[in-house]
Homo-oligomer: A and B are copies of this chain.
Amino acid sequence: MTRAVVLLSGGLDSAVALAIAREQVGAGGCFAISFDYGQRHGHELAAARRVAGRLGVASERHVVVRVGLDAIGGSALTDTRIEVPKGRGAGGAGGAGEMAHGVPVTYVPARNLVFLSCAAGFAETVGASRLYIGVNAVDYSGYPDCRSEFIEAFERAANLGTKAGVEALARGEVGGALRVCVPLVRMSKAAIIRRGAELGVDFALTHSCYDPVVRDEQALACGRCDSCVIRRRGFEEAGVRDTTRYA
């Protein structure tokens, strides 16, 4: 049976990536990995646990890896001294916000490189031959580590840098032992939401907001950060009811 490791952030995209992985390799083949990386909010990890549970990944198949990216600094998501941008409109070709002007301040240096590397190690440990990551080059074109060229280069490095990879290459298996799957990379947010809805993803379990408001121990989306604006517009365009709880 093919085994897959899915990078699960607790956001909408990675929830849909997990649902797609589940459809492709079966629920019994799915493992998940999440990261506690000094992000400002623990809500993402709580959401990742809810999503994993709902989509049939038992807790012993879901690891949370602590990675101290806050020690490295350089991002609004790990450094409270840098403000998360708001209210300028976000993403897309016509956007006036951070997404439209090169790399946003919410970029975390080498984040996906670090996360994929840990996931490659976990894949090797559990014997998985696929990694799924919900990167998207449409709305997140400002993030270099969300593009296909990066993913392909990473896949090669991961195969050359792991035991499973070099053994497969030595047996003549083209590409090595590990394939990195990016099912969402060319999809619009609306298309991702429609695909998730078809696969039964409960979007209310997911958390996308960069700057949530906590009320009665619940994290409510701010509705104004880049991530919220892209998400809200996606539901509108998809014609799917937005069950996000806004502040």
Interface membership of A64, Cβ < 8 A: yes
Partner of A113, one of B72, B125, B147, B157: B157
A122-160: contact bitstring with B at CB < 8 Å (1 yes, 0 no)?
101100000000000000000011010110011011101
Give the distance to chain B from A28, nearest Cβ to Cβ, in Å.
20
Q: Which residue of B lies closest to A64 (CB)?
A: B71
Hey, which chain B residues are within 8 Å of A74, CB to CB?
121, 124-125
- 20 new A-B contacts, CB < 8 A, other than A66-B68, A72-B122, A113-B158, are A63-B72, A64-B71, A67-B67, A73-B125, A107-B163, A108-B121, A109-B120, A109-B121, A109-B162, A110-B124, A111-B121, A113-B117, A113-B157, A114-B114, A114-B117, A144-B162, A144-B163, A147-B160, A153-B153, A156-B157
A sample of 8 inter-chain contacts (CB < 8 A) reads A67-B67, A73-B125, A109-B121, A109-B125, A110-B117, A110-B121, A113-B121, A156-B157
Hey, which chain B residues are within 8 Å of A154, CB to CB?
157, 161
Which residues in A have some Cβ–Cβ distance to B below 8 Å? Answer: 63-69, 71-74, 103, 107-114, 116-118, 120-122, 124-125, 144-145, 147, 149-150, 153-154, 156-158, 160-163, 165-166
Hey, which chain B residues are within 8 Å of A114, CB to CB?
114, 117-118, 121
Partner of A72, one of B68, B69, B107, B125: B125
Partner of A112, one of B67, B110, B145, B161: B161
Report how many copies the assembly holds.
2
A166:B153 contact, CB within 8 angstroms: no
Q: How far is the CA of A163 from the CA of B103 in the complex (A)?
A: 7
